[in-house]
Amino acid sequence: MNIEIKKSNYNNDALMLGFSDLKRLKTERPLVFSKGKGIFIYDENGRDYIESVSCFYCVSLGFSEERLVEAAYKQMKELPMYSSAIHRTVPAVMELTERLAALSPIKNPRIYFSTTGSEAVDYLVKFMWYGNSFAGEPNRRKIISRKSSYHGSTIATSALGGSQDLQDSFGIPMGFSLQVSHPSWPNAGLPGETEEGFTDRLAEELEQTILAAGPETIGAMIAEPMSVSAGMFPPPASYFPKITKVLKKYGIQLFVDEVVTGFGRSGRMWATEAMGLEPNCMTTAKGISGAYMPIAGIIMDEEFNRRLDLGNEAKGWFAHGATHHAHVVSAAVAVEVLNIFEERDILGHVRGVMPAWNRMLDSLMDHPLVVGNRKWGLAGAIEVAYPGEGRAGPAASLKVGGVVKEVYEAGLAEGVIVRPLAGCFVMAPPLIITEAEITELGRRVRAALDRVLANQPAR
Ligand SMILES: Cc1ncc(COP(=O)(O)O)c(C=O)c1O
């Protein structure tokens, strides 16, 4: 199939893209990608780029996994669509549910499939409101989240994580949202503060936030095990045990958002397992289908489900659903992802290449623009600053400028796509990356850094 898109005289008043400058889109042709192979993508002029971020941390099996294409095609030919609702479903959804339940760190879970990660988090909040109201705790509606983490783009999820600037500019209703600090250690530490002191302070902040709002008004805290969006700060080992203790003290549930960290990024299926977390509910998306088709999952524990069942008993049904939830083609692709994980031992592969990944990240530390790095599973953040300037603070933002923007642009020129955040850029390549490809990625990143350095005025 050849789709010709007019390149000359670009002028496109109708094109609207997410996280983009709308004014720039009208007059400047965006980067257009037309092909993918393995960890590489190719633009419309045939130039190759290593996608060091797996697109949005999602294309876990690379851009040309034939088996996923075949699985989608086969399902499309057999039955391309049938909504899973009204006591009706399809075999692929039943199989995916069974296999995911067996892999879930939450015992005897119930699983609901939505289309996107944003929906998964949004619905989890909605389901909690429902269950709590029938379990005699209708006031437990508030959710605690950490500033500058990311849980989605719907109205409800925009109120979780994110920044006040973003919430204000969209006028997001924040009534149910309580926000605490993100564990961005060491950058967010106070002068002279130890790691233990830092996590004590954050646990104390959490407890004070709970007491100020009233524990009986709070249903859950939501947290990513490690938030890429917040700058990829692996939390200190004592962080989750301390906050879990506080949450348990006040009967507040822990929702773990594994939309990015699930499906192998840590070297285990779930970061929850790798980090010993004890979630009541989890969300998953992205890697669940290698991102070839949109699908996300909400995994809920027995107590959460008991509450949903109370509502069901009172009302006679569960009044929630949508056309594309648990889409049959997405489910078939997700089942094939699980087959590939098993047959090719993708988790073993990730653990096998992690030392080479870490060496590559460390090898960049001698570059004059690099002031630090962070490593977590098959992901990494490189902190950058202009020569003579100090490290950026802990704040992370999706809108960036300065040196990281320059590194991003230079990366494009050198054939590598990185994700710029405030003060750093992050990478989380497809899980299938090989050691030789990690070396090539490191070479291209260094070339991008050199390019930025060469353009710096003499100081
Ligand atoms: C941790 C986390 N949760 C939820 C979401 C929202 O997922 P989606 O973009 O599929 O709606 C994202 C997206 O990046 C995410 O990183």
What local confidence, expressed as pLDDT, does residue 224 receive?
A: 98
Give the C-alpha separation, 420 to 383, whole Å: 10
Residue owning the nearest CA to atom 7 of ligand 1: 117
Instruction: Decide the pairing of beta strands 424-427 and 419-421.
Output: antiparallel
257 lines ligand 1 (CB under 6 A): yes
Domain boundaries of the chain, sorted by first residue: 22-64+345-454, 68-343
Q: For residue 369, report the distance from its CA to the centre of ligand 1, in Å.
A: 30
pLDDT of residue 70: 98
Single out the residue of 342, 331, 349 nearest to residue 429, CA to CA: 349
Q: Are 289 and 334 in contact (CB under 8 A)?
A: yes
Cα–Cα distance for residue pair 419/160, rounded to 1 Å: 21
What's residue 394's pLDDT? Answer: 55
Q: Residue 237: how many CA atoms within 13 Å on its side-chain side?
A: 1
pLDDT of residue 422: 85
Atom of ligand 1 nearest to the CA of 258: 1
Say which residue the tokens 């389901």 belong to. Answer: 127
* Cα–ligand 1 centroid distance for 265 (angstroms): 15
- Are 89 and 78 in contact by the 8 Å Cβ rule? The answer is no
Counting atoms of ligand 1 from 1, which one is nearest the CA of 118? Answer: 11
Cβ–ligand 1 distance for 285 under 6 Å, the answer yes
The CATH classification number of 68-343 equals 3.40.640.10
Q: Is the CB of 105 under 6 A from ligand 1?
A: no
Return the ligand 1 atom nearest residue 154 CA.
11
- Distance (Å) from CA 284 to ligand 1 centroid: 9
pLDDT at 456: 77
Domains 22-64+345-454 and 68-343 share a fold: no
Contact assessment for residue 383 and residue 187, using Cβ atoms and an 8 Å cutoff: no
Residue type at 120 in one-letter notation = A
Mean pLDDT in order along the chain per 10 residues (459 residues) = 63 91 93 97 97 98 98 98 98 98 98 98 98 98 97 97 92 97 96 98 98 98 96 97 98 98 98 97 98 98 98 98 98 98 98 98 97 97 88 55 92 97 95 98 98 79
Neighbouring CB atoms inside 10 A of 454's CB total 8
**Alpha carbons 351 and 22: distance in angstroms, whole number:** 41
Q: 258: CA distance to ligand 1 center in Å?
A: 9
Q: Tell me, what's the pLDDT at 354?
A: 98
229 CB near ligand 1 (under 6 Å): yes
How many angstroms separate the CA atoms of 281 and 285, rounded? Answer: 14
Q: What is the pLDDT of residues 55-102, one digit of tens each?
A: 999 999 999 999 999 999 999 999 999 999 999 999 999 999 999 999
Q: What is the pLDDT of residue 3?
A: 59
Q: Cβ distance 287 to 262 under 8 Å?
A: yes
Q: Ligand 1, atom 13: nearest CA belongs to which residue? A: 152
State the virtual CA torsion across 250, 259, 268, 51 in degrees, nearest 10. -150
pTM of the model as a whole: 0.96
**Ligand 1 and 54: CB distance under 6 A:** no
* d(CA 319, ligand 1 centre) in Å: 25
Q: Are 241 and 199 in contact (CB under 8 A)?
A: no
pLDDT at position 389, please?
78
Residue 66 Cα to ligand 1 midpoint, Å, equals: 25
Pocket flag, ligand 1, residue 291 (CB < 6 Å): no
Superfamily of chain region 22-64+345-454: Aspartate Aminotransferase, domain 1 (3.90.1150.10)
Question: Which ligand 1 atom minimizes the distance to the CA of 285?
Answer: 10
CA-nearest of 198, 200, 247, 250 to 221 is 247
Of ligand 1's listed atoms, the one at least distance from the Cα of 121 is 4
Indicate which residue's Cα is closest to atom 4 of ligand 1.
151
pLDDT tens per residue, range 142-187 = 999 999 999 999 999 999 998 899 999 999 999 999 999 999 999 9
146 ligand 1 Cβ < 6 A: no
With a 6 Å cutoff on the Cβ, whether 150 touches ligand 1 is yes
Contacts for 429 with CB less than 8 Å, ≥ 6 apart: 39, 50, 51, 52, 53, 54, 378, 437, 438, 441
Determine whether the shortest distance from the Cβ of 117 to ligand 1 is under 6 A: yes
Pocket flag, ligand 1, residue 115 (CB < 6 Å): no
- The predicted pLDDT at position 458 comes to 55
Q: To test ligand 1's pocket by mutation, which of 53, 57, 118 has the most ligand atoms within 8 angstroms of CB?
A: 118
Compute and round to an integer the Cα radius of gyration of the chain. 22
Does ligand 1 lie within 6 Å of residue 260's CB atom? yes
